[in-house]
Amino acid sequence: MGISIIKPDTRINFIGFRKVAYVISAICILVGVASIAMQGGPRFGIDFAGGVVVQAKIDTETDISSEQVQRALSDSGLPGMVVQAILDGKNEYMIRTSASDMDTEEIRQTVTQELSKVFTDAKIEIRRTEMVGPKVSSDLKTNALKAMFYAVLLITIYISGRFEQKWMIAGIMAVALFLGLTGLDFIGMPMSFLIIGALCISVGLCWYLKLNYALGAVVALIHDVIITIGVFSILGKEFDLTTIAALLTIIGYSLNDTIIVFDRIRENMRSKAKDSFATTINISVNQTLSRTILTSGTTLLVVLTLAILGGGAIHDFAIALLVGIAVGTYSSIFVASPILLGFGPSATDIEEDNNDK
């Protein structure tokens, strides 16, 4: 017998809270979007903005903060400089600069000289120097956006085929969007606008073609990603390839939770034909609530540990997962399921479907 922390006869009216949940989600999204707009867009890291990364160690017994290192390099003339501690208490730092007209050796020498002027009793050791050119950073940004869009598109096909047996319709929709996106990219349209437009079209087509399960799942995924990006913007975090990896992980995790709920809804639609669709959804969410809490709770504990003890190198990755998993769990219950209710089958459709079976 499995572990259960929620009583089997629990009947929380989750669907009854859907309007409140919509308001909460709308506020979170608007605040995040406003933050991004006020900052002139996301704060891209070196992977997407280009520049140079220098990993430096200041060998001294005195603890030195990243702010002290930032001030020490303030007269270096390096543009767009950001200093981040890698290992707490080890005086090791990641120094990022957007300089693109200097070679790595020149930047290396500049950092060493400026730090030596301030920390005269310390030994300065440059452990790593990496440069990302503007062309490479642009390609990385484009490929990252494509990866996220195609992940959502493949999810749409899978959900539509598994829960609604509409593999062909979903496949044709996906191929059309892929060809359209590729064609517009080929003629030089900005990829960021193309991805946003393609996502909006995907949601619209799911609604028009009555791919209701896919519509609920895709809207929940977009909801999770936007809120996570908004929180990153509010916290002043950079967006780099590590952040994209975290967002793709969040998409997979949120989808898994949503599929569990949807699968139980589908099973209960067959066995509880006399219940309304809203009642069936509520019963299904309550039945999977124990598993949701256990899975999300244990995962959040691990990610929280990474965020606190993992060090600067993976801190942003852990923060993104922490926010995304929490929001993804919320969206599976309060976003995906209510959307399925709003656009899903009526009571008559459920009864006719069960009679056919």
Using 50, 70 and 90 to split pLDDT, how confident is the model at 346? very low
Q: Average pLDDT over the chain, rounded to whole? A: 83
pLDDT attached to residue 351: 45
The CA distance from 254 to 231, in Å, is 17
Amino acid at 167: W
**Secondary structure of residue 92 in the 3-state scheme:** strand
Average pLDDT over residues 277-288: 89
For 258-297, letters b (16+ CB in 10 Å) and e give bbbbbebbeebbeeebebebbbbbbbbbbbbbbbbeebbe
Distances (CA, A) of 211 to 19, 170, 176, 192, 206: 22, 8, 16, 25, 5
Please check the confidence at residue 5 and state whether its pLDDT lies above 70: no
Which domains does the chain possess?
15-44+136-356 (1.20.1640.10), 51-132 (3.30.70.3400)
pLDDT attached to residue 89: 61
Position with higher pLDDT, 271 vs 54: 54
Average pLDDT over residues 245-249: 89
H or E element that contains 192: helix 191-208
H or E element that contains 125: strand 123-132
Residue 145 is given by DSSP the state H
pLDDT attached to residue 272: 63
Position with higher pLDDT, 35 vs 75: 35
pLDDT attached to residue 313: 67
Query: Which of 30-34, 116-120, 172-176, 177-181 has maximum average pLDDT?
Result: 30-34
Position with higher pLDDT, 355 vs 277: 277
Average pLDDT over residues 225-246: 88
Average pLDDT over residues 20-37: 94
Using 50, 70 and 90 to split pLDDT, how confident is the model at 28? very high
Please check the confidence at residue 230 and state whether its pLDDT lies above 50: yes
The CA distance from 146 to 257, in Å, is 24
Tokens 């656009």 sit on residue = 343
Using 50, 70 and 90 to split pLDDT, how confident is the model at 223? very high
Position with higher pLDDT, 31 vs 87: 31
325 touches 252 (CB < 8 A): no
**Secondary structure of residue 302 in the 3-state scheme:** helix
Paired with 168 in beta bridges are: none
pLDDT attached to residue 207: 87
DSSP string, 34-47: HHHHHTTS--B-HH
